Amino acid sequence: MANASMPRIATTTVGSYPVPDWLAAMPSEQGVVDAMRIVFATQRQAGIDLPTDGELYRFDVNHPETNGMIEYFTRPMAGIQSRFGRADVEAFTRKEGMGFRTRPAGVVTGPLGEGSLNLIADCERAAEVAGGAFKFTVTSPYMLARTLLDRHYGDFESLLMAVAGVLADQVRGLPCACVQVDEANIPGNPEDGPLAARAINRVLDAVDNGTMRAVHFCFGNYGGQVIQKGAWKPLIGFLNELHCDHLVLELAHRPASDLEALREIDPRIGIGIGVIDIKVNPIETADEVARRIEAAERQLGPGRVQWVHPDCGFWMLKRSIADRKIAALVKGRNRYLGTSE
């Protein structure tokens, strides 16, 4: 449930924010901290109820395909080798569903362990400049495991639960109001739902009592393109198994029929709906956002929509676009609720 001090429908962002040009040009520890201050201030000034830190410390300017949401977690882990050769790359390209990557995030060569992964340090750094309650994001163990080449465990379930175990140890004690697990691969692989739910729940169950638990799902976003084919309906059983307080779902870039399927989500789970399309540059108007919220409440029933947000993170957009979309999100929510803008 949303915090009692928040509006009936609260606003949040999903995670990433465009890396400022000056930070990419001259990266430094102080530069990251300064940029985080800007990210938090931008969201709070726009009126976002639960901002994120922007994930700027995860960005790898040299990464050829993604923004570091995978390697940030896998590269420091013990048991994962980040240097590999032709045979490893060729083996990875034969994996189903990984066509959007040309190489693995890493090669598993031994038992997985914490290594130098230290999420609490980054969460504490965010807490120092957040200026209030904020959300910290963690990539799903299923998503991480799918991008790895396994040369140790011998079966996917063992690898997956090993990744989940490492992440579970990492999320304990995080100083944030909400921990959000991000998953962009299961929407295209609904048959793995039961297995993925067990792994994600292991992470969610390790989050401290009193901290909100959210799970974000999207259908992928690389260069504004959808990566996973599918729909929400086949995923309802999986979503209902999750030990979370609310879901953060891509819907602005989805067909209107997807809303109907969400009526079957367990009432104990709050629903967050995407009302800002991050795969296009045009800025939504407040009226457009309000209409999307109205359509969702009409379809799902009063009280079911607890959060509104962008479909996914902003890292692929220009800052000028992202900032205006953030402002449009709040204005549209306010217009729908009839509060001041």
109-168 pLDDT tens trace: 999 999 999 999 999 999 999 999 999 999 999 999 999 999 999 999 999 999 999 999
Q: Is residue 3 part of a domain?
A: no
* pLDDT higher than threshold 70 for residue 11: yes
Does residue 5 lie within any of the structural domains? no
**Domain span at residue 274?**
10-337
CA angle 159, 162, 168 (to 5 degrees): 145
Q: Mean of the pLDDT values across residues 314-332? A: 96
Complete DSSP assignment for 151-165: SSSSSHHHHHHHHHH
131 assigned to some structural domain: yes
pLDDT at 64: 53
| pLDDT tens profile 103-121 | 888 999 999 999 999 999 9
54 inside domain: yes
Residue 2 lies in a domain: no
Q: How confident is the model at residue 85 (pLDDT cuts 50, 70, 90)?
A: confident
What counts of helices (H) and strands (E) characterise the chain?
12, 10
Q: What is the pLDDT of residue 24?
A: 86
Reported pTM: 0.92
Domain total in the chain: 1
CATH number at residue 332: 3.20.20.210
CA–CA distance, 261 with 103 (Å, rounded to integer):
35
| 302 falls within a domain | yes
Q: What pLDDT, on a 0 to 100 scale, did the predictor assign at position 221?
A: 57
Is 1 part of any domain?
A: no
What's the confidence (pLDDT) of residue 297?
Answer: 96
pLDDT, tens digit (0-9, with 9 covering 90-100), for 204-239: 999 999 999 999 998 765 555 545 566 778 899 999
What are the C-alpha distances in Å from 296 to residues 229, 259, 307, 309? 22, 7, 11, 13
**Exposed, middle or buried: residue 184 (CB in 10 Å: 0-12, 13-18, 19+)?**
buried
Domain-located, residue 48: yes
